[in-house]
């Protein structure tokens, strides 16, 4: 850069991290964010008994009530802003607002409870927002292949399915890179 050129701000891309209750959205945003993530977690209370399905996630003690926010710099020219959505059905009304301006999404799946992410898949398909599936391997376990998950969810071939561990930064980055690859491929087809 010469002395007369003004520095330019990097391009920013809004990405949603979505999925059902307790699939690891807050964990993924926290593992990959280069800043201390903004979290709107509140303790689970007796008011949620009979409303929140804790089958398979009995150890869960808190839940996102608005959003999670994190940031990751991909290059000098590209920064991703990550918005984790709330997973409980009673907070889904916020997804419409959170999705405004989003270029893509990661839908996290917990294979112990895949039905918890069906609504997220439907949400992005209906709105034409490109998404990838991140299959979060709790305890590092992946009992099913990416193709088995694709078949079980009846996903089209163009939707990437990535096995991941949302607790691990490099694993979460791999899911985001898969989404960026999808977005770039979509942009070049236009």
Q: Any idea what the CATH number is for the domain that residue 108 is in? A: 3.40.50.300
> Is 1 within the bounds of a domain?
no
- Residues 48-64 pLDDT 10s: 555 555 555 556 555 55
Q: Is residue 6 assigned to a domain?
A: no
Q: Do the domain assignments include residue 57?
A: yes
Answer yes or no: is 2 within a domain: no
Predicted confidence at residue 41, as pLDDT, reads 62
Domain assignment present for 61: yes
CA distance 124 to 62: 26
List the beta strands (DSSP E) in 8-101: 11-19, 38-43, 62-75, 78-84
CB 124 within 8 A of CB 92: no
- Partnered with residue 15 across adjacent β-strands are 82, 104
Under the banding of pLDDT at 50, 70 and 90, the label for residue 46 is low
- Number of residues written out for the chain: 190
Per-residue pLDDT reduced to its tens digit, 78-133: 999 999 988 777 677 778 898 999 999 999 998 888 888 899 999 999 999 999 99
**Is 110 contained in some domain?**
yes
pLDDT score of 116: 82
Residue 3 within any structural domain of the chain: no
Q: Is residue 43 part of a domain?
A: yes
Domain span holding position 148: 11-189
* Number of domains the chain contains: 1
């Amino acid at each position: 850069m010469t002395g007369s050129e003004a520095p330019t701000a990097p391009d920013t891309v809004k990405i949603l991290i979505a999925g059902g209750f307790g699939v690891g959205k807050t964990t993924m945003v926290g593992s990959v964010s280069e800043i201390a993530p903004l979290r709107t977690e509140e303790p689970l209370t007796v008011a949620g008994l009979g409303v929140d399905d804790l089958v398979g996630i009995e150890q869960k003690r808190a839940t996102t009530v608005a959003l999670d926010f994190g940031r990751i710099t991909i290059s000098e020219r590209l920064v991703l802003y990550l918005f984790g959505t709330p997973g409980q059905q009673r907070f889904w009304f916020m997804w419409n607002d959170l999705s405004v301006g989003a270029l893509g999404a990661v839908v996290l799946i917990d294979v112990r409870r895949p039905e918890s992410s069906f609504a997220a898949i439907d949400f992005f398909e209906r709105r034409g927002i490109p998404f990838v599936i991140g299959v979060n391997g709790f305890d590092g376990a992946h009992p099913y292949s990416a193709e088995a998950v694709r078949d079980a969810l009846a996903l089209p071939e163009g939707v990437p399915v990535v096995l991941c561990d949302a607790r691990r930064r490099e694993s979460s980055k791999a899911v985001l890179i898969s989404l960026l690859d999808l977005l770039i491929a979509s942009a070049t087809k236009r």
